[in-house]
Chain A
Amino acid sequence: MTGKFNLFFRVLKKRPDFMLGYIIVFLIIIIAIFAPLFAPFDPIKSDAKNYLKAPQWPYLMGTDATGMDVFSRVLYAPRVDLAIALLGTLLSAVLGVILGAIAGFYDGSGKVAGFGSAFIMRSADVVQAFPVFVFAIAVVAVLGQSIQSLVMAIAFVNAPIYLRLMRSQCLSIRRMRYVEAAYLAGTSDIKIILAHVIPNSIAPLLAQLSVNIGWAILLTSALSFIGAGVEAPTPEWGSMISMGFQNIVTGHWWPSIFPGLALAVTVLGFALVGSSIEILADPVRTRKLLLS
């Protein structure tokens, strides 16, 4: 384990931008948990006298058209955005890993299992034939507008990615000598999947997860921006951008620009963490980076 940690720190030393990614993600999580301690105002209390105030003391990021403090709302927003993105991504990974393991393990086998495997793959094709964003909107439309629907939409949209990843891992691991040996020794299919296939697929899965969380945050805020996601006045970056949208043309830029900036920095943080895991998961690329 110490060897792995050592490698991790050597990679971070070589790429300080990855370090920045980890710091951003860490800070965002801290902010999400301790938002009430940092926020100077109640995020959903509007002050009718102080609307559209430019950034000034005590309104660090100004106030929006209803007189709510933008800074406090920006700090509270990751609670909603991160929670939805994390839950949705985890759910899609669980769904995709299970289905992908089945599809990969029984690929090309006769009987019912082989048919089931083909059926899973064709269903994934159909889901992916729909434009991502439209599919997500349709899921929210069917399930009704709520946080649970957003989580489900993210899970459905992303599940085929994990499904394909897991399936290709499964296909290559299935042919390994030790797996064939385990099979001959009478190990059950489920045990082989749990003991060999999944542990060997963790690294690419983790890389995909952290990249996906960034996308999921973007998707959550995009759905909220068009009004199919989190509803105002709940503090959420996308819906805040949408609320301040009309004020941009009159020169009141702060209600929209600050939440968007927070959103972009967060997604960037997760993307950096994702690419660091991608490199760490691939020994060839890790060595190339360390030698460069």
Chain B
Amino acid sequence: MKRLYLFLGKRLIFVIPQLFGITLVSFLFLQLIPGDPAVLMAGPFATPSVLENLRAELGLDKSLFEQFLIYISNVLRGDLGNSWQTTRPVAEDLLQRFPATLELIVLSLLLALAIGIPLGRAGARLKKGVTRRTADYYGLFAGALPDFWLGLVFIYIFYTVLTIVPAPLGRIDFFIIPPPSVTGSLLIDSIIDLNFAAFKNAVGHLILPVVTLGLINAGPILKMTQATMERMLDEDFSKYGALCGLPEKVIARKAFRNSLPSVITIVSVLFGFLIGGAVLVEIVFSWGGAGQYAVNGVLNADFNPVLGFVLVSAVFSLVIYLIVDLLYFYIDPRTT
């Protein structure tokens, strides 16, 4: 147990400078954005005295260093500014939209794992055959397909032609009353509410985006599983096991157990990537997630949402990496 605390302590000390760096970069981005925020807020017809007052109110007349301190204290209090598009605090908007993105990412990664790991394991164990070839080429093809385009292809096939999925417009049909928000995940909330009509509808809406992201992200998971496991099967412990006459199945299981750290790494990297990267699929399916909110901010010169999103998602990736390090700690006893 003492080992765990030591490890956690070391890791958390590392997080603080990282968080500081992220806040600093976000702040610098804000400074670099062309245009005077006071002019943007007051409009082009404001008199100089109005602008002067507004600048003083916003703290723009203070030094850059003081401004940075104010920015940090605001962020620490959970104040990320307001969005002029939604006229609401950014923190509230993000809180509402992040669960939508997370639900999508988590389900997609689960699907990606379900495809990538068995195929990768098979690819590493077999030397020839159809399965091996599929494993070899899957990664290449999945890496080349743009996910937003694949989503459109699926919409065309399954909505336009076959009409077996609901319209790709959001997370639930407008005529279905959504369950009261508890966790923010529609699936979990509708189960809590025992609202099975909502559950069924939400599943229907989730299928296509989850399959799109799952199929594409299975590629890197497969590649990593296959490459690491091939290496492990080449290690002395595997050869020794074979010499001792252990069944191939047992050796494969041991080799896979030793490949787990790399698989977890790639999943965490994908998770971090998808927090922002899922935005393309979110747009295709009008998902209304956090990424889409940030992109709308960029396109409409509404910068508080963008910064808020960047900050929250960077913090989120840090948390994920922390969890991953803890997982390493449990999987690999050599970690210190």
Q: Does A12 lie at the interface of the complex (its beta carbon under 8 Å from any beta carbon of B)?
A: no
| Contacting residue for B160 out of A218, A248, A260, CB 8 A | A248
Once A138-B310, A141-B33, A226-B279 are accepted as A-B contacts, the answer to whether A130 and B156 lie under 8 Å apart by CB is: no
> Would you give the 0/1 interface string for B269-307, flagging 1 where the beta carbon is closer than 8 Å to chain A?
000110111011001100000010011001100010010
**A225 near B148 (CB under 8 angstroms)?**
yes
A131 to B321, CA, bound (A): 13
| Contacting residue for B306 out of A131, A138, A226, A268, CB 8 A | A138
Once A142-B33, A249-B155, A249-B168 are accepted as A-B contacts, the answer to whether A133 and B277 lie under 8 Å apart by CB is: yes
Chain A residues contacting B317 (CB-CB under 8 Å) are 129, 131
Q: Which residues of B14-48 are within 8 A (CB) of A?
A: 17-18, 21-22, 24-25, 29, 32-34
Categorize the interface residue count of chain B.
35 or more
A135 to B277, CA, bound (A): 10
Chain B residues contacting A138 (CB-CB under 8 Å) are 29, 298, 306, 310
A125 to B317, CA, bound (A): 12
Chain B residues contacting A291 (CB-CB under 8 Å) are none
Q: Which residues of B46-88 are within 8 A (CB) of A?
A: none
Chain B contact residues, CB within 8 Å of chain A: 17-18, 21-22, 24-25, 29, 32-34, 137, 140-141, 143-146, 148-149, 152-153, 155-156, 159-161, 167-168, 272-273, 275-277, 279-280, 283-284, 291, 294-295, 298-299, 303, 306, 309-310, 313-314, 317-318
Chain A contact residues, CB within 8 Å of chain B: 17, 122-123, 125-127, 129-135, 137-138, 140-142, 144, 214, 218, 221-222, 225-228, 238, 241, 245, 248-251, 253, 256-257, 260, 263-265, 267-268, 271-272, 275
Q: List 27 A-B contacts (CB under 8 A).
A: A125-B18, A126-B18, A126-B25, A129-B22, A129-B314, A129-B317, A130-B25, A130-B310, A131-B310, A133-B273, A133-B291, A134-B309, A137-B294, A137-B295, A138-B310, A140-B298, A226-B299, A241-B149, A245-B152, A251-B161, A253-B160, A257-B153, A263-B149, A264-B146, A264-B149, A267-B144, A271-B143
